Structure 1
Amino acid sequence: MTFTLTHAEEYSFGNGVQVADSPLIVGGYASSIMDLNKNNRMVSVDDVALLAYGEYDHMDFLAELETVDLYKKEFSNRRDENSSGAIHVERLYGDYFFGHNERLRIGKFNSDIGFWNQIPINVLRDTTSSPRLVSDFFPKLTTGIQYESRQSIGAVRRISVTLQNNRDLDIGFNNFDTYRHYAATCDIIDQEALWRFSGGYFQYEPWREAYYLSGAMKTEQKRWTFLLESILRRDSGEGRVAYDVYAQGVWHMRPAHDLIFRSEIEKTPLTYAHDGSAIVGYTYRPLNNIALKSEYEAHQNTLLNRWLFSFSVLF
């Protein structure tokens, strides 16, 4: 099947542009961040990415190429300024749908754990910062195969199984240098909330092994969205269990204006260092694809306290 890329349809801001008469849509996103803490002040163009996606018949696909830390300037004693032109593969996968309720995904994709990890793009998230749960406890990205079924079985509305038996597609561009990752997830819906339970095993660095169990809940009201996620992790050879739990409420004060509250408690894997934090943030969205965010993050260790400001846009 061949497409002739001779022209593009009219561009719609935030929705990308369809190329010729093909199913291919091209877009992107960018964000800039100001990070202010007691010892350092930093401004960066955090990430700039190209997105290409589309669907045809029973298949769809997505490719996401990202440049991280395109530009960074620190206003500390050293006053460092640097940039990086390295391009990484954030996501690259194809889906095949068996009817309306079953899907097979092959490639590199967000690990199907919890809710926050499914929203990797700054402009779509509630806050600039992410809970440490998504960076410290399991691979954020998986290179492998995922099967998903949305056939209802009692209160269960969705199940997925993920298998990775190889290294990452873009080695080093993940929070863990992953060699294996096996996971399963199920969604349960009641009248008030969506519940998500997951469990998995992964091998990393290359001989360390870890197991995890997570539970998450999300509920949405007219003026509020509430999110709760928790996780336990045990590494092979370790006698102790690491954990993290966070709760977040988003108050939709007015259209385009959100006030966010988040609290998190963590015992870090391997080091078992304990930290508690609280965040108060404000997000303004003049358009659905533009976000201006500000937040204050307070920690038990006051040296980690900081202000974060960001501007992000989806093209």
Structure 2
Amino acid sequence: MNNLKKIMIAFVLSCTLLEGEEYTFGDGFQLGDSPVIIGGYLSSVYGIEKDSRVFDIDDLALLAYGEFDQYDFLAEFEATDLYRKEFGAHADESSNSTFHIERLYGDYYFGENEQLRVGKFNSDVGFWNQMPINVLRDTTSSPNLVKDFFPKLTTGIHYESRQSERAIRRLSLTLQHNADIDREYNNFTVDRHYAFACDVGEKETLWRFGGGYFRYLPAHEALYALGAFRMEKKGWDFLFESIVRRDTDDDKLSYDVYAQGVWHWRAEHDAILRTEVEKAPLTRFHDTTVVAGYTYRPLSNVALKGEYEAHQESRLNRWLFSLSLLF
């Protein structure tokens, strides 16, 4: 696997250096006259907690993607915590240059409304999990819902059908019955994940429902169900997601619910407020979080963010500031 990753990363870099004829900041290199694009993204984060300060070059990722008639593909290789420096009570310094396979998939389109995806991809669960890149998200931090309750990434097959004239606008099915392409790069080490999702409503006011089963190491199984709502109005966005989970070796339900509002008060400026309540799986840890943030986008592919995260337990409170960009 390590050799495979090195070969694929070397191929991407070679294409960028030798074949790229045109570069647009934020849109990457186009390889000659082909529809293949090479690009990437970078994010850095500065955090202030009770007893420490942390600077982290959080993500560096290389992307390759393209569309060919009825086919398209995406390859993404990411290194996290590329450089990390902590000051204060827990002073430390570390680096990590290991790239992992975050996404690697191909799509086949049966027509305008049907699609089959094979490979490693973001699990089709809710709305937030479809926004994995910092620069595209509203805040630097993510709700605990997308970190603690289901596999963020799936290696397998995903089928999607869209019908604009029906009550159910979109239906998707996911099947994983194998190990992850890169087992070290996921929030759970899974070898089974079966899930479904469906959308009801319009683009501006959309409901999304779903559920699934997954098996994760060493020998645990879990079921989950999710309901989500997204509303987009002029000057405002509202997002709500709620999930319940039951592990087969635990007879008690765990849950998470969050609601977020975004005010686009000026063309490049957003104000964000999010509140979340969680009872974490297995640990039974209860937490209530309120996040107040501000995002400035001088360019569509560049984001400067600041936020304060208040927790039920004050020792967890923190400030986060980040700079992220697509290149």
* TM-score after normalising by structure 2: 0.93
Aligned partners of 1:6 and 1:20 also within 8 Å: no
2:154 counterpart of 1:119: no
Match of 1:201 among 213, 223, 236: 213
Aligned partners of 1:274 and 1:220: how far apart in 2? 31
Q: Could you say which residue in structure 2 is the equivalent of 1:164?
A: 176
Per the TM alignment, residue 124 of structure 1 is displaced from its structure 2 partner at its CA by 0.3
Match of 2:85 among 73, 79, 83: 73
Q: Could you say which residue in structure 2 is the equivalent of 1:296?
A: 308
Q: Greater helix percent: which structure? A: 2
Aligned partners of 2:204 and 2:233 also within 8 Å: no
- CA deviation profile, 1:69-120 (whole Å, cap 9, x unmatched): 0000000234211100111001000000001100000000000000000000
2:40 counterpart of 1:16: no
Per the TM alignment, residue 296 of structure 1 is displaced from its structure 2 partner at its CA by 0.1
Aligned partners of 2:220 and 2:249 also within 8 Å: no
Aligned partners of 2:231 and 2:238 also within 8 Å: yes
Q: Could you say which residue in structure 2 is the equivalent of 1:181?
A: 193
Aligned partners of 2:176 and 2:218: how far apart in 1? 14
The 5-angstrom pairing of residues 35-50 of structure 1 reads 35-50=47-62
Per the TM alignment, residue 57 of structure 1 is displaced from its structure 2 partner at its CA by 1.3
Using the aligned pairs only, state the percent identity.
62
Aligned partners of 1:135 and 1:301: how far apart in 2? 19
Aligned partners of 1:289 and 1:161: how far apart in 2? 31
Aligned partners of 1:26 and 1:232: how far apart in 2? 39
Per the TM alignment, residue 10 of structure 1 is displaced from its structure 2 partner at its CA by 1.9
2:270 counterpart of 1:258: yes
Aligned partners of 2:189 and 2:204: how far apart in 1? 38
Aligned partners of 1:147 and 1:260: how far apart in 2? 33
Match of 1:97 among 109, 113, 121: 109
- CA deviation profile, 1:173-220 (whole Å, cap 9, x unmatched): 100000100000000015861000011000001310000000000001
| Residue type of the alignment partner of 1:16 | G
Q: Could you say which residue in structure 1 is the equivalent of 2:320?
A: 308
Aligned partners of 2:45 and 2:320 also within 8 Å: yes
> How many aligned positions are there?
312
2:280 counterpart of 1:268: yes
| Residue type of the alignment partner of 2:302 | I
| Residue type of the alignment partner of 2:95 | S
Secondary structure, counterpart of 1:303 in structure 2: helix
| Residue type of the alignment partner of 1:177 | T
In structure 1, runs of 5+ residues without a counterpart are: none
Q: Could you say which residue in structure 1 is the equivalent of 2:256?
A: 244
Secondary structure, counterpart of 2:20 in structure 1: coil
- CA deviation profile, 1:271-298 (whole Å, cap 9, x unmatched): 1111001000000000000000000000
Aligned partners of 2:274 and 2:203: how far apart in 1? 24
Q: Could you say which residue in structure 1 is the equivalent of 2:5?
A: none
Aligned partners of 1:116 and 1:39: how far apart in 2? 30
In structure 2, runs of 5+ residues without a counterpart are: 1-14
Per the TM alignment, residue 151 of structure 1 is displaced from its structure 2 partner at its CA by 2.2
**Which stretches of structure 1, 4 residues or longer, exceed 6 Å deviation after superposition?**
none
Aligned partners of 2:191 and 2:168: how far apart in 1? 31
Q: For the structure 1 residues 51 and 191, does the alpha-carbon distance in structure 2 shift closer, same or farther, using more than 3 Å as the test?
A: closer
Aligned partners of 1:178 and 1:206 also within 8 Å: no
Q: Could you say which residue in structure 2 is the equivalent of 1:132?
A: 144
Secondary structure, counterpart of 1:134 in structure 2: helix
Secondary structure, counterpart of 1:117 in structure 2: helix
Deviates more, 1:278-287 or 1:19-28: 19-28
